[in-house]
Structure 1
Amino acid sequence: MDLWLIWLIIAGVLIVVEMLTLTFYLLWLGIGALAAAIVDVIYPDALLLEVIIGCVVALLLTVFTKPITRRFQVGRGFRDAVDELVGMQGTVLEDIDPDTPGIVKIGSETWSAKSSESIKKGEAIIVISRGSAFLQVNKWGG
């Protein structure tokens, strides 16, 4: 299989996954892979050049479009997929203590979680907020 086709497949997968998440994290990598595919068509035996061009394109797009994507994300109607977890109920899979995060299951997904109270494995929880790396949860009493 030609390398340009592999780059094209990678670009397609990244762009499709980006359309499902709407976060702009993977779009620029997909366009970088597309640029690498174009370089491979022009210079077929220059793998290092393809990788460098793909990385430079993704980096430039990330740097120069950050203000645009930030404006889009704070605009009315945008919600990150993780924001949808707030208010959802789940179950503790790994004990949570105030000083030690644990693991919770919400729907079919597992997440790292923190709480201001101790919550034992098997107890029900509710997500009260999200942080950058952890969900903040409380015991669910209902």
Structure 2
Amino acid sequence: MLQPLWSWAILGLLLLGMEMLTGTFYILWFGIAALCVALLIALFPHLSTAIQLLAFSVLSLASLAVWRLKYAKTQPQLRVGQSRGEELGRVGRITQPVSPSSQGRIEFTVPVLGSRDWIAISEQTLQPGDEAQVVRVEGNYLRVERKQH
């Protein structure tokens, strides 16, 4: 049977190998924690199994939490397909009639959320050529109303 030091070292290397295959950065921290437990056993050979498991758990969760905090701060804020509120109030021109009972289309001179042309819905009847402003994003539709002058 393998000694605990080698068991932890092999587990750590297997986890690191799995991380290299997936590239998620989640398994990495468990592999590093297992290697740290192997190092602890090398320094303190008489650690009980309970202490080894506790050390692995604490090291895994702590390193994962630290990485998540750091990663959240450095992750680029990608905006593709994500509404952040800046599109509200944007004014476009109706290209197909829209009414409470039918969808229409609205076009913008500058793209809104990556597109110049959107399906529009409204509680008002708007005709082609009317200016309308965005009041809400509802899934893949823009809720619009007549532009307030």
TM-score of Structure 1 vs Structure 2, range by shorter chain:
0.3 to 0.5
Larger fraction in helix: 1
Q: Which has the larger radius of gyration?
A: 2
If the length of structure 1 is used for normalisation, what is the TM-score? 0.47
If the length of structure 2 is used for normalisation, what is the TM-score? 0.45
